[in-house]
Each structure stands twice: as C-alpha cells, then as structure tokens.
Amino acid sequence: MFKVPPLAPQRLQKLLRAMPKAELHIHIEGSLEPELIFALAQRNGVPLPYASVEALRQAYAFTNLQSFLDIYYAGASVLLHEQDFYDMARAYLARAAMDNVAHAEIFFDPQTHTARGVAMEAVINGLHRACEDARAELGISATLILCFLRHLSEASAFETLEQAQPLLGKIVGVGLDSSEVGHPPEKFARVFARCRELGLHLVAHAGEEGPPAYIWSALDVLKVERIDHGVQAVHDAALMQRLAQDRIPLTVCPLSNQKLCVFPDLKDHNLRQLLDAGLCATVNSDDPAYFGGYINENFTQVFAATAMTARHAYQLAFNSFEASFASQADKRVWEHRLKEAFERFVEHD
C-alpha cells in the first residue's frame, strides 16, 4: 500500500474532492433534482402534489426509510419515456464527473416504472444510452445494476427479470433495495440463484436498518459479492471477521444514514471503525438529490465529523476501485491516477 503522510484539514478536504473515485451505490431515481422533476412533469403533463420546486424541496424532511420512500416514488412518477431516463442519467453523470468520479455503477428500480405501464425497454435503453454518451463526452465510465424492490413479491421479481432478459447485455448485475425491515434477503433466494446462472454480478442492501442476520443471509443465501450499506455489521464480531477476511465490500452512504436517522449525528458514524477493522468500505451518495449531497459532500462531511485522515481517504478511494465490477485493466489505470493525485497533494503541501 502507498504510504500516505498526514495532511492539514483544509488540504485534506481539497484532496477528497480532487481524488478520482468510483461510486457504487447510487439509485438513479434518487438523483432526480426537484428542478428536473418539475421539468419532466411539465413535458409529460404529469400532475404533481407540490405547488413549486421549493415546496417539493421542503417536503424532504424524512424521519426514516419509509417516509423517504413515499416521496421518492412520487418523484419517479414523472418518468415515462426513454428520453426521460436518458436525461435523468445524463444529469447525474455530469454531476458525478464534476466530483471526479471515474466510474459509476448505477442502480435503477424497473418495477417502480413498469408498474406504471412504462416499458422495460424505455427504462434500460434510456439509461444505457446515457452511460454510453457520458463515456464518450465526459470521460466517465458507467454501468447499470438492476434492483429488485424487496417489498414486492418473488413472483414480481421473476417477472421483472424475464422482461429484462433481452436487454441483459446492457446491465452488469442485479441488486435488492427498498424497505429492508420485514423483507429478509432469503425471500429472493431463487431469483438471485437464477441471476447467478445468467452470469450477472450480485449485490444487495443489507444491514442499513435491518439486523446483521440480513447481512449473513445476503452473503450465504443470495451469495452476493457486495453489501450495500452494511453498517449494522459492527454489532456482530463474527460477521466483522467474515467481511474483513473475504474482503466483502460495503457501500456506505454517510449522508443517507444521517438523513434517515441510522446515525442522527455524523460524528457517531462508524465508517472509520469499519475501515480500521480492515473492511473494504467505500463512500457513496445513495439518493443524492434527497439526502443533501453528492459523493464529494459525503466524503467531506464525514471526514470533518469523524476526524479521518489522508490515509483513510486513500483507502476509501482505492477500495471503491477494487470493489467495482470493472475490468482489472481499468482498475489499474484508476489506481495509478489515484496515486498520482495523492503525490501531487503531498508534494505541494
């Protein structure tokens, strides 16, 4: 591992913004800013229960995962056509490039759209075209992960997989999201087994609000390669050991955890504890339009609150590349760029 000297707090904040990084936990529907929601509502003639952009922004006062999800699904109702999905993903990728995201693995929730009569092709083709254009025009690499909504049935997940089957070449994996408590991973054991047969990468949300047992079953029953969130793992020593030993990545989202009251005060966030225990933790934005910050805000705020160091910054960015589903060749390029970014900052200190 590259040796990282300590940096003054202000210099570290600059470095956090400048360093290349991968974002592995971003729900594209959660990147919809109120301005774009209103523009798409107007374009598509969809009525909104909010009088203005400001009124919608003010409604973003969540107390838990469910109160957030209620507004999240209302916002997604403006997405109808392929171009809408393209515009949403393109807006996120432009914003991510500004935060020096070199690679993004983007979650999307097709059931939120197909349930409203939107065709699977419109969803996947729009998002995929945005990823292709962003690679060419912004120099950012981006791939797609289809997420099943865990509050819906296994049958609905299977139906979704079937609809997506002709388009599987445009996605790299599947995930599991939405209301966690009461919907353990094992509910989707057969769906994930089928996805594994199809050669898809597997991830799942587990241990955000739910217990460590959900992380165990995501690993052992669903056989996922990454855990999304996973912050509740600290309550189970054997699980911490397993995650460290097998280098199972956790995609941690500090501002989301704060907004949804998993850690009401960022200074109590356990990211540093996860890293210091040798886990492959990463920093991500989850639903940045709703949780008050894109990836760089997540980095700078959690570092300021928990007094992490330049060594942690390097580890987190390095982990994000290691944990990605990109090619080994791409990973080496990004790791090299990461090292160069750190050397520049250290030299000029």
Interacting residue ranges for Zn ion, rule: CB under 5 A: 286
Which residue type does 97 have? A
Residue 128 annotated as lining a ligand binding site: no
CB of 205 to Zn ion, least distance (A): 6
- Residue 137 — φ and ψ, nearest 5°? -95, -30
Query: Smallest distance from the beta carbon of 178 to Zn ion, in angstroms?
Result: 9
**Shortest Cβ 76–Zn ion spacing (Å):** 14
- Cβ neighbours, 10 Å, residue 306: 17
- Comparison of 26 and 219: residue with beta carbon closer to Zn ion: 26
Q: Closer to Zn ion by CB, 84 or 228: give it.
A: 228
25 labeled binding residue: yes
Q: How many CB atoms lie within 10 A of CB 107?
A: 26
Least CB distance from residue 75 to Zn ion, whole Å? 15
Query: How many Å apart are CA 318 and CA 320, to the nearest integer?
Result: 5
Q: Where are the alpha helices (DSSP H) in the chain?
A: 9-18, 34-44, 53-58, 65-76, 82-98, 110-114, 120-138, 154-164, 189-197, 212-220, 237-245, 254-259, 271-276, 288-291, 295-306, 310-322, 328-347
Nearer to Zn ion, 82 or 228 (CB): 228
Output the six-digit token pair for 182: 């009461």
Closest by CA to 187, choosing from 160, 156, 161, 162, is: 156
Residue nearest to Zn ion (CB): 286
Nearer to Zn ion, 109 or 286 (CB): 286
Task: Give which of 286, 23, 294, 299 is closest to 140, Cα–Cα.
Answer: 23
Looking at the annotation, which residues are catalytic?
208
* Shortest reach from residue 219's CB to Zn ion, in Å: 18
CA distance 227 to 252: 9
* 235 labeled part of a ligand binding site: no
Judged by beta carbon, residue 4 or residue 233, the one nearer Zn ion is: 233
Is 27 marked as binding a ligand? yes
Cβ neighbors of 316 (< 8 A, separation 6 or more) are 21, 275, 281, 282, 283, 299
Residue 349, annotated ligand binder?
A: no
Mark the binding-site residues, compressed into ranges: 25, 27, 205, 286-287
Mark the binding-site residues for Zn(2+), compressed into ranges: 25, 27, 205, 286
